Amino acid sequence: MIRLIKGIWNAITATKNAIGNLIFLGLVILVLVTVFSSESTAIADSTALIINPTGIIVDQKRVIDPFNKFLFAYEGNDEDSETLLRDILEAIEGASTDKRVKSLVLDLQRLRGASMSKLEEIGDAIEDFKETGKPVYAIAPSYSQTQYLIAVHADKIYLDKQSFQAFGGVFFTGLGVYPTYFKAASDKLKINIHVFKAGLYKGAVEPFLRNDMSAAAKEANLGWIGVLWKQYSDTIIEQRNISLESFQKYTNRYDEVLAANGNDSAQMAVSEGFVDAIISKKAWREEMQSIVGKSESTYNHISLNNYLLETRPPFPVIDPAAKKIAVITASGTIYDGVQPAGDIGGESISKLIRIARNNKQVKALVLRIDSPGGSASASELIRSELELTQDEGKPVVISMSGYAASGGYWIASTANKIFSADTTVTGSIGTFIIFPTFEETLSGLGVNSDGVGTTTLSGAFNAFQEINPVLRRSLEHSVTHTYQKFIGLVAQGREMPIDDVDKIAQGRIWAGSTAVELGLVDAIGNLADAIESAALLAAVDDYEIIYLEQELTTSEKLLNQILNSSLKAIHAATGGISSHWKILGSVSQDITTLLEMSQSPGIYLQCLYCKVR
């Protein structure tokens, strides 16, 4: 009997395992079919191109561990997705000469964020598209401040009549800088955070030394965010023919204007001139059908991704004999070593620069920087690789994106030419070191550290003792030396007296338009302008543009796709992780940054204020 029961049990187990394996195999096959099959979406002879970015608009997509995404971020929405700026610009430019595309539709409801400089580049591309005479429409349930800076370039801006949102219509919040401060917390925990800095305005260290923003930091921050906000408001006023007085009243006394419009935010947006009309879905479809034709119950249209899929060649067509301008993207915080896309690794970017330098067909290099800075040693490694490229006769041109500050500016400092947007956040030329010690924390628990060593620096990095006085003085000298090196490089690259550089350095942040006036940037321009300048410096007329990127292997791409697909299914079934994690998101990010910078007393060139909200 026992043998019979055991046999039945083994049979059940074997059957269960077989079924499980078959289900797993079926899921893998399903994912593989999804990955490798791309159903063709033909472009109608008359169609509308829908520009529908999701998540954050970036210069380079970040590599995200699917498991971390599941545990800490993914909510089944677009908050963690990213859309390449290059893709949007390419689609709009292609559509302008594509006879099949009769109109552009801006569907921005899934756009979560972007730097002002990127939004401006998209706006410029839309303005170029409008010169063809093709109409541009924007429609959404409501418009955030980010979304509206793109929508404002449309010929007509509509609100969906069926939508109802707490902050409907068009909602502006202005720009602000609100870091998280840790001084009170470190005092409670009896953590002694030793900070060494060079630069009066080097606000990156303030969150570790204060519980609020200093007067000097407030003055400096209001200076550059004021420039950005003026650029924003000027664009809205010009595009919508609204008076400055009306715009300021709308943005500063929103509640009064809302009450005067019967508390109807959508109607208020129309009456104040920010939106042309509130339209039903039926009326919207009929209007578009009159322009591009009918497709079943809707109008002929194609999405951004499908349009690129249909218009791009399946494989890049590269002429091996053609002269080339290489473009490398350096996006994210700067770290030592090899880092994945979305962060800047000193070794990673240096390797790409060497590839460009050693390629005889590459005649010039453009580095696109979107970074608040980071490691000084990694920044110098990248800058020196660029300098070696210049020494070999290949011009190096910098294109600054949303921000290129601190370490980002260090990298750019000695390039042949530097371009930025009016609203690029740059400067922050200063240095700092953070070194926490925990001797009082442990002492309060009855734990102490003591011993002997052979030199005055023995045990200097023991964080459980009071900071070594020799180490303290050494770190002070090191910060000063690095700052002098920084302003020396700027003086060399910008051909300015070092005293003049020191006056505009001091860790102070500048908007791009101000940086041009100060001589830190050569001209206002986008990536295309930087590429054109590089070609001019290299004296080449006929050339191809190649993008050098650190790519995932085929197996890594496949694994990510499988895991992401599985995790989406899990989240659909479970409803995802609680949204309470999001409330702590920015705080945990700041704490992570603190921990990374305090692991060892490295020298940092970082701008924590540059991420304007």
- Pairing of β 425-427 and β 509-511: antiparallel
State the pLDDT at residue 22: 53
Residue with tokens 């208020």: 268
Q: What residues have CB less than 8 Å from 513, skipping those under 6 apart?
A: 227, 231, 422, 423, 524
Residue 589 has pLDDT above 90, yes or no: no
- CA-to-CA distance for 595 and 291, rounded, in angstroms? 56
- 478 annotated active-site: no
Q: What is the mean pLDDT of residues 382-403?
A: 97
What are 197-236's pLDDT values in tens digits? 888 877 778 888 899 999 888 988 999 999 999 999 999 9
* Structural tokens at position 52: 């529908």
Four-point Cα dihedral 526, 527, 533, 534, nearest 10: 160
State the pLDDT at residue 598: 54
Strand partners, 374: 334, 605
Residue 95 has pLDDT above 80, yes or no: yes
Residue 493 has pLDDT above 50, yes or no: yes
- Pairing of β 192-198 and β 431-437: antiparallel
* DSSP assignment string, 394-410: --EEEEEEEEEETHHHH
Give 445's pLDDT tier (boundaries 50, 70, 90).
confident
State the pLDDT at residue 36: 47
The one-letter code for the residue type at 76 is G
Q: What percent of the chain has pLDDT over 90?
A: 66
- Choose the weakest-confidence range: 75-79, 85-89, 430-434, 478-482: 75-79
Q: pTM to 2 decimals?
A: 0.85
The size of the chain, in residues, is 613
**Using the 8-state DSSP alphabet, how is residue 392 labeled?**
T
Max CA pair span of the chain:
97
Give 37's pLDDT tier (boundaries 50, 70, 90).
very low
- CA-to-CA distance for 180 and 195, rounded, in angstroms? 17
State the pLDDT at residue 28: 52
CATH value of 47-64+84-176+217-311 in 2.102.10.10, 3.90.226.10, 3.40.50.10490, 3.40.50.2000: 3.90.226.10
Identify which of 179, 589, 607, 180 has the alpha carbon closest to the alpha carbon of residue 400: 607
Confirm if 329 and 59 have CB atoms less than 8 A apart.
yes
Confirm if 521 and 515 have CB atoms less than 8 A apart.
yes
**11: phi then psi, degrees, rounded to nearest 5:** -65, -40
- CA-to-CA distance for 575 and 567, rounded, in angstroms? 11
Give the three-class secondary structure for 49: strand
Residue with tokens 């930025």: 420
Four-point Cα dihedral 92, 97, 98, 99, nearest 10: 130
What are 397-414's pLDDT values in tens digits? 999 999 999 999 999 999
Residue 66 has pLDDT above 60, yes or no: no
* DSSP assignment string, 111-173: EEE--HHHHHHHHHHHHHHHTTT--EEEEESEE-HHHHHHHTTSSEEEEETT---TT-EE---
Mean pLDDT value across the chain: 86
* DSSP assignment string, 315-330: S----TTS-EEEEEEE
Q: What residues have CB less than 8 Å from 7, skipping those under 6 apart?
A: none
State the pLDDT at residue 548: 95
Catalytic hit among 197, 202, 324, 394: 202
State the pLDDT at residue 550: 79
- 420 annotated active-site: no
State the pLDDT at residue 443: 86
24's enclosing H/E stretch is helix 2-36
The one-letter code for the residue type at 170 is V
Residue 9 has pLDDT above 60, yes or no: no
Give 79's pLDDT tier (boundaries 50, 70, 90).
low
The beta-strand segments (E) located in 182-230 are: 192-198
- CA-to-CA distance for 222 and 472, rounded, in angstroms? 33
Identify which of 177, 106, 117, 175 has the alpha carbon closest to the alpha carbon of residue 147: 106
State the pLDDT at residue 580: 44
The distance from CA 514 to its chain's CA centroid, rounded to whole angstroms, is: 22
* Structural tokens at position 436: 């926490």
- Pairing of β 373-375 and β 604-606: antiparallel
Q: What is the mean pLDDT of residues 524-530?
A: 97
Taking the chain, what is the end-to-end CA distance rounded to the nearest angstrom? 73
Kindly report the number of other CB atoms within 10 A of residue 41's CB atom. 13
Give 296's pLDDT tier (boundaries 50, 70, 90).
confident
- Choose the weakest-confidence range: 29-33, 97-101, 367-371: 29-33
State the pLDDT at residue 14: 62
What are 273-283's pLDDT values in tens digits? 999 999 999 99
* Structural tokens at position 119: 């939004």
Q: What percent of the chain has pLDDT over 70?
A: 82
- Choose the weakest-confidence range: 244-253, 539-548, 603-612: 603-612
State the pLDDT at residue 39: 46
Catalytic hit among 406, 413, 420, 478: 406
Q: Do domains 47-64+84-176+217-311 and 324-446+459-548 have the same CATH topology?
A: yes
What are 251-273's pLDDT values in tens digits? 999 999 999 999 999 999 999 99
Burial of 442 (0-12, 13-18, 19+ CB in 10 A): middle
Four-point Cα dihedral 217, 223, 227, 228, nearest 10: 10
- CA-to-CA distance for 390 and 395, rounded, in angstroms? 5
Residue 596 has pLDDT above 70, yes or no: no
Residue 101 has pLDDT above 90, yes or no: yes
Question: What is the topology classification, in CATH, of domain 324-446+459-548?
Answer: 2-enoyl-CoA Hydratase; Chain A, domain 1 (3.90.226)
Q: What is the mean pLDDT of residues 296-324?
A: 89
Give 351's pLDDT tier (boundaries 50, 70, 90).
very high
What are 160-175's pLDDT values in tens digits? 998 777 678 999 999 9
Residue with tokens 């059940």: 12
* In the chain, domain spans: 47-64+84-176+217-311, 324-446+459-548
Give the three-class secondary structure for 597: helix
Confirm if 136 and 103 have CB atoms less than 8 A apart.
yes
Q: How far is CA 209 from CA 187, 204, 219, in A?
A: 10, 10, 18
Identify which of 391, 392, 349, 400 has the alpha carbon closest to the alpha carbon of residue 372: 400
Strand partners, 101: 47
- CA-to-CA distance for 28 and 566, rounded, in angstroms? 9
Give 245's pLDDT tier (boundaries 50, 70, 90).
very high
The one-letter code for the residue type at 505 is A
Confirm if 221 and 509 have CB atoms less than 8 A apart.
yes
- Taking the CA atoms of 137, 139, 142 and 144 in sequence, report the sign of the dihedral they define: negative
- CA-to-CA distance for 396 and 385, rounded, in angstroms? 11
11-15, 292-296, 416-420: which is most confident: 416-420
**192: phi then psi, degrees, rounded to nearest 5:** -95, 110
Question: Helix 554-574 crosses helix 2-36 at what angle (to 10 degrees)?
Answer: 110
Strand partners, 157: 138
**Each residue of 137-170: b (16+ CB within 10 Å) or e?**
bbbbebbbbbbbbbbbbbeebbbbbeeeeeebbb
Give 612's pLDDT tier (boundaries 50, 70, 90).
confident
State the pLDDT at residue 565: 54
Give 606's pLDDT tier (boundaries 50, 70, 90).
confident
Residue 462 has pLDDT above 70, yes or no: yes
Q: What residues have CB less than 8 Å from 404, skipping those under 6 apart?
A: 369, 370, 371, 398, 411, 412, 420, 424, 425, 426
State the pLDDT at residue 574: 45
Confirm if 310 and 40 have CB atoms less than 8 A apart.
yes
